Structure 1
């Protein structure tokens, strides 16, 4: 299955347009083809960060799945619907691979002259480059602090050490 991966930084032109990375456009096109829809981008302000969440039909289906898990007419379902679908902008990709970022979305993410596109698997985010550099550093520090927990779980369940004994041959 296709995934949004890697990080790219592109310029925003005077009209608010930015080129979507070619690899991201390819994922969006395949996603649209598989679902029978058009290759557009669902884009909304991220709930937890000064960034934009974006993706294709798979992202919309994940949101539908989240909402389906909540009782009809519940406050939780209504609030999540407003927070996600209420702020969605469907962005068209022009013939040159660009999207026009509406002012409200640019303001939420603090986007002025550049956008950093960050692949997150089934979706991607758009960040102010400086804010993303800080976010990336925090993520790396956290992973560094917790990585021993990941390795310890796999070694303890398999009963193996780190493999250094086998290297002596």
Structure 2
């Protein structure tokens, strides 16, 4: 499992359609030998997930192990997990050009938050992230988290 942890501010250069991956996350990607990253819309939150490509493909392989490539189940999983993603290669400074449909769906415009989630990290609109964090804080009852 990767170790993407922490939250880092960033920005979205809408004119160039570009973001820069935080140095801490670039270091993790380099340690993993991940030259490419997979971007996908989160199924649960209004943000993007960013996975090291080898880890994402390993997850795909785990989910489809033993399935016939011709089966409906395999085709549905591959359509969801492979057909709806974008594979990108960050440049030497960790910059990538954000696919416009993903940026629009996540509401990226200006200030961002990058949030580590262990195996992957997320990219959020900063205001939306603050709202979600406030909701999470309101649910905190002093439990074990």
Same fold (TM over 0.5): yes
Distance across 1 between alignment mates of 2:82 and 2:102: 14
Match of 1:140 in 2: 137
Contact 1:31 1:58 in 2 (8 A): no
Mapped to 2, the partners of 1:9 and 1:118 lie a distance apart of 9
Structure 2 runs not aligned, ≥5 long: none
Structure 2 counterparts to residues 17-166 of structure 1, below 5 A = 17-32=18-33, 38-56=34-52, 57-68=54-65, 71-72=67-68, 73-75=71-73, 77-142=74-139, 144-145=140-141, 147=143, 150=144
Tell me if the contact between 2:111 and 2:126 (Cα under 8 Å) persists in the aligned partners.
yes
TM-score by length of 2: 0.85
Contact 1:44/1:52 (<8 A) preserved:
yes
Q: State the match for 2:9 in structure 1.
A: 9
The answer on whether the counterparts of 2:2 and 2:120 sit within 8 Å (CA) in structure 1 is: no
CA distance in 2, matches of 1:138, 1:60: 32
Which entry has the higher C-alpha Rg, 1 or 2? 1
Residues 141 and 78 (structure 1), Cα distance of their counterparts in 2 relative to 1, 3 Å cut: farther
Displacement of 1:140 in angstroms is 2.9
So what's the TM-score if we normalise by structure 1? 0.74
Alignment partners' CA distance in 2, 1:50 and 1:94: 26
- Give the number of the structure with larger relative contact order, counting CA–CA contacts within 8 Å between residues 6 or more apart: 2
Structure 1 residue 95: deviation in Å? 1.9
- Bigger shift: residues 102-111 or 58-67: 58-67
Matched positions, count: 141
Displaced runs of 4+ in structure 1, greater than 6 A? none
Structure with higher strand content: 2
1:84: Cα distance to partner?
1.8
Does the Cα contact within 8 Å between 2:2 and 2:28 map onto a contact in 1?
yes
RMSD: 2.1
In structure 2, relative to structure 1, the CA distance for the partners of 1:117 and 1:86 (3 Å cut) is same
